Amino acid sequence: MDKPITPKKEFKEVLHGVEISDPYRWLEDVDSQETRSWLESQDAYTESIINSLPSREGLLKEFQKLYRQDSTPFLYPRAGRYFFMKRKAEEDHASLYFKEGLDGQPQLLVDTNKLSKEQGHPVAITGYNVSKDAKFITYTLSESSNDQSSLYVMDIDNRKTLGECIPANLYPRNGSWSMDNSGFWYTRRMENVPTGEEKFHRKAYYHRLNTSYTEDEMVYGKDLAKEDSPGVFCSMDGRYLVVHVSISSEKRERMEIYIRDLEKGEKEFRPVIQGIRGESDIYFKGAPHRGYFYLQTSCQAPWGKIQRIPLNDLENGGGQWETVIPEVEGRNIEEFEMVQDRIFVLTLENVHSSLREYFMDGKLRRDIDFPGIGTCMRMAAEPEGSEIFYSFNSFAYPFTVFRIDINGGGISVIEQQEVNFDLQSLETEQVWFISRDGTRVPMFLIHKRNLRKDRLNHTVLYGYGGFNISLTPSFNKSIIPFIERGGVYAIANLRGGGEFGEEWHAAGTKKQKQNTFDDFIAAAKWLIENRYTNSDHLAISGASNGGLLVGAFMTQEPALAKAVIMGVPVADMLRYHLFHGGRHWIPDYGSAEDLDMFDYLLKYSPYHNIRDQVEYPATLIVTGDKDDRVHPGQAFKIAARLQEVNKNNPIILRVERNAGHGGASDISRLIEKAADEWSFIFWQLGVNA
């Protein structure tokens, strides 16, 4: 089947004195009949290619075997009960369960598989919050696998979902229950906001049970800028209400923290952290515990430190912050949990996790040994509980949940993911390469043991490089069929991510964003120069900000890779901020509204840098029609433009229906997506099926 011809509609505008041509702007109207008809033609073209690929049926069977297993639940303790999400092998969706005690039997609370069947479309749980006595729970359900989720309330003992519902179009987020279970604090946007600003204007509210959400009291945020967003929680003893405010309306992201003493009946919030700005993003996260307010911060400590101040001093408006865990170069503090008289601090060191247990005054009690070099993805505990749970996984170590007995100190395995693959056949390396400006950048390589470096290895290079997000060693089932056939999977830890603290992040933002692309290009060249592969056997892959990454790579170095997987891409850097929550990304990218950033963004914007008479790599562009994070029109436009200029290499657009930024929520469609993407890679790189 011939590729679709997309009509060009002449559209030009002048920005800062520069004429910008945008002939595919009409595709930004994703709900128009014309765009829908265009999508139908794209669907037919995509299916004609993907469904004919010789490796697809075999890969479908392999991914069915890999993914159709019971999921591994992570336990969240609350008042003697344990809450978790779990999907059984034969099911499509993870449901919400709890059990009485560690040895109790799982009891079903919210059956998403039943809900999906009743409603005729996938329904997914996107979050939950349990009351302090574990008698009530709020949970959010998404019906489009996107950022819109309705919030519901359940009486746990009676398994009864109560009548109230906070609708999805208000983007509610689970908050924190009051001590007496009369209601809960949460955040959502205001009801009446201008069109296009539905993801802004967020405030903190209190919802009283058995009333309408329209009567909810706004407790914080009346004077916030529309881009800024509060998060609210109540301390486990019910005394303090704490608000963290994420401020993204300024040139650099920062945070503020406020507190109210509910026991004393305070009506106004007092500042804990307020008005602190810097040359880079500043992070604060804190909570009260045993008479102190503990604070994790990057302020004057790009690797992070933990401080505390007596709560009495906060009340009196004075006092000095005491550093409990000082900044240590090379130890990037990611999070901390307080349990009884202990602080558990999770750090990222040389792109892998470390966990340490301290006393409250900062004295080290012990290092928690992991099974190897890998990633601790989460911790969970109650402030006065007797246990803490944490997870660990790595490239060759499956997702595992551990429990520490606080009083006895023992560590035990609670859950571990089943694996039907010989993990001993895998080998992982961490290598370092030199980027364009001389910066040393690390990269992980995963492949079978005794790999031959003959320049002919099929290789996929994956990257992200943005928003302070780190790519750390984790168990990834989707790469196993590729590795089994001799493939090399490479993960580059690019600037813009959080692998080496705030300075590493800042070095890949705004007018330093080209560093991210240079790092990725240098990673590809290193793989070629060191005989792992060559350009005819190399594919690159990235999604979201990673979609921007691969878009910049292919427009700047079109001959360096054979194939591209471009997921939910940020592709038009002049207009990304005009849709959904895009303005939240301005601290990382800058904005074309700013004359100082306009030229820089235009210079690398993938959509604007596709050139006539250039043949770009074969590309599979993936998006969801309900993506309310990165507007799907970005994927549509770059697909149309690439199809226009490419004469030989295929440009394929895969649009998942009723799916958001993370793709479909049901395992059946996730398997289909994995088979489509990898069969495309196999086809282009010549991997034997």
- The answer on 31 and 96 residing in a single domain is no
pLDDT score of 48: 97
DSSP one-letter code for 27: G
- The answer on 511 and 627 residing in a single domain is yes
User: Which residue in the block uniquely carries the two structure tokens 């993370």?
Assistant: 662
For 63-117, write each residue's pLDDT tens digit: 999 999 999 999 999 999 999 999 999 999 999 999 999 999 999 999 999 999 9
- The answer on 665 and 538 residing in a single domain is yes
- The answer on 402 and 367 residing in a single domain is yes
171 beta partners = none
497 beta partners = 495
- The answer on 598 and 531 residing in a single domain is yes
Mean of the pLDDT values across residues 20-32?
97
Dist CA 4 CA 606 (whole Å): 21
Is residue 302 situated within a structural domain? no
Give the sign of the dihedral formed by CA 554, CA 559, CA 560, CA 562: positive
DSSP one-letter code for 535: G
Task: Give the total residue count for the chain.
Answer: 689
Under 8 Å between Cβ of 520 and 557? no
**201, 234, 267 - which closes a domain:** 234
- The answer on 84 and 33 residing in a single domain is no
Judge whether residue 175 has pLDDT over 90. no
Containing structural domain, residue 515: 14-39+423-685
Mean of the pLDDT values across residues 381-396?
98
Under 8 Å between Cβ of 540 and 559? no
| CATH, residue 552 | 3.40.50.1820
Dist CA 189 CA 197 (whole Å): 9
Q: What percent of the chain lies above the pLDDT cut of 90?
A: 97
DSSP per-residue letters across 504-530? HHHTTSGGGHHHHHHHHHHHHHHHHHT
Under 8 Å between Cβ of 238 and 222? no
435 in active site: no
Determine which one of 201, 207, 458, 661 is catalytic. Answer: 661
Is residue 57 situated within a structural domain? no
Under 8 Å between Cβ of 517 and 552? yes
Determine which one of 544, 591, 665, 679 is catalytic. Answer: 544
**Total domains in the fold of the chain:** 3
| Paired tokens of 629 | 């994070």
**187, 212, 234 - which closes a domain:** 234
* Beta strands 240-247; 124-130: pairing state: unpaired
- The answer on 439 and 411 residing in a single domain is no
pLDDT score of 15: 97
Is residue 315 situated within a structural domain? no
For 503-553, write each residue's pLDDT tens digit: 999 999 999 999 999 999 999 999 999 999 999 999 999 999 999 999 999
For 563-575, write each residue's pLDDT tens digit: 999 999 999 999 9
For the chain, give the mean pLDDT.
97
pLDDT score of 279: 83
Give the sign of the dihedral formed by CA 393, CA 397, CA 403, CA 404: negative
Is residue 276 situated within a structural domain? no
Judge whether residue 155 has pLDDT over 90. yes
User: Which residue in the block uniquely carries the two structure tokens 């009485």?
Assistant: 100
Q: Measured between alpha carbons, how far is residue 666 from residues 121, 142, 145 in Å? A: 10, 12, 9
- The answer on 483 and 390 residing in a single domain is no
**Residues in CB range of 620: below 8 A, 6 or more apart:** 563, 564, 565, 566, 652, 654, 676, 677, 680
661 in active site: yes
- The answer on 81 and 222 residing in a single domain is yes
Confidence of residue 315 (pLDDT cuts 50, 70, 90): confident
- The answer on 570 and 439 residing in a single domain is yes
Is residue 242 situated within a structural domain? no
Under 8 Å between Cβ of 138 and 186? yes
| CATH, residue 178 | 2.130.10.120
Judge whether residue 616 has pLDDT over 90. yes
655 beta partners = 623
Dist CA 184 CA 129 (whole Å): 10
For 453-501, write each residue's pLDDT tens digit: 999 999 999 999 999 999 999 999 999 999 999 999 999 999 999 999 9
**198, 217, 234 - which closes a domain:** 234
Q: Taking the complete model, does pTM exceed 0.85, yes or no?
A: yes
Mean of the pLDDT values across residues 329-353?
98
**Residues in CB range of 49: below 8 A, 6 or more apart:** 1, 650, 652
E-assigned strand segments in 420-523: 426-434, 440-448, 459-462, 488-492
Mean of the pLDDT values across residues 669-687?
98
Dist CA 464 CA 504 (whole Å): 13
- The answer on 550 and 672 residing in a single domain is yes
Judge whether residue 576 has pLDDT over 90. yes
pLDDT score of 494: 98
Is residue 216 situated within a structural domain? yes
Dist CA 31 CA 450 (whole Å): 52
Dist CA 200 CA 198 (whole Å): 6
Confidence of residue 643 (pLDDT cuts 50, 70, 90): very high
User: Which residue in the block uniquely carries the two structure tokens 């006595």?
Assistant: 133
- The answer on 585 and 468 residing in a single domain is yes
DSSP one-letter code for 2: P
